[in-house]
Amino acid sequence: MIWRLTLLVFAALVVYESWFFGKLVWWIWVNPTNTAFMEARRESMREDNPEASIRHKWVPYADISVHLKRALIAAEDAKFLDHDGFDWRALQRAASRNLKSGKVVAGGSTITQQLSKNLFLSSNRTPWRKLQEAAITVMMETVMSKRRILEIYLNVIEWGDGVFGAEAAARYYYRTSASGLSVDQSARLAAMVPNPRYYDRVRTTEALEKKTAIIRSRMYLSPVP
């Protein structure tokens, strides 16, 4: 009886994980039109305004400024082209900082890990969610190129209250296209990523200016796929 139950649970887990894998394979060629995080934000916004909608428009990788690509890699994942989905040194540094402070003040997530969470998972910090995020990260790095991972990431990450993706962000903040973003604009957008809804409301702070300057100084050290 126990072995049958174990086998059933294992089979269910295989089917469950195969669904994630199948979606990732599909997205090698087909652009995702929605993400779990977009859907969660839309539902949250509609609690206050039933007519609320998100700003989002997909644009191809070639139509996104190279400055923004460099800025995001410099800000979020300097070793993006070199790792297999996990930056172990960054994780160790983040763990050390968090341990010293007694709370979470730093993260070590790579672009691939962030994308895994945004595409499929909730924002709840649970051991199961972290394990699932890791599993999806491995799958994504296995089946997708770095260029495709970055293309999807640039098109789905949050950049403000209901603002998702590079094109919507460029239009919303600078009245330009994603392809027309300058060095300074790209560095500022990258600096906003960790707390986009706050910086949507508060457009400039000393911390934001400092981080923007740091990102701008590192951008040309960041190769892009």
Q: Could you give the CA distance from residue 51 to residue 83 in angstroms, rounded to a whole number?
A: 42
Expressed as residue numbers, the domain containing 54 is 2-29+36-221
Average of per-residue pLDDT values in the chain: 88
Sheet strands side by side (includes 158-160): 55-56, 163-164, 158-160
* Res. 212: pLDDT tops 60: yes
* Res. 4: pLDDT tops 80: no
CB of 178 closer than 8 Å to CB of 65: yes
* Res. 97: pLDDT tops 70: no
Quote the number of domains for the chain. 1
In this structure, of 29-38, 83-92, 110-119, 203-212, the range with the lowest mean pLDDT score is: 83-92
Q: What is the pLDDT of residues 141-199, one digit of tens each?
A: 999 999 999 999 999 999 999 999 999 999 999 999 999 999 999 999 999 999 999 99
Query: Among the residues of 2-62, which ranges form H helices?
Result: 2-26, 36-48
Would you give the end-to-end CA distance of the chain in angstroms? Answer: 51
Residue 108 belongs to domain with CATH number:
1.10.3810.10
The average pLDDT across 39-46 equals: 90
Higher pLDDT, 195 or 47: 195
Higher pLDDT, 213 or 17: 213
pLDDT at 216: 96
CB atoms within 10 A of CB 115: 25
Higher pLDDT, 1 or 200: 200
Higher pLDDT, 9 or 79: 79
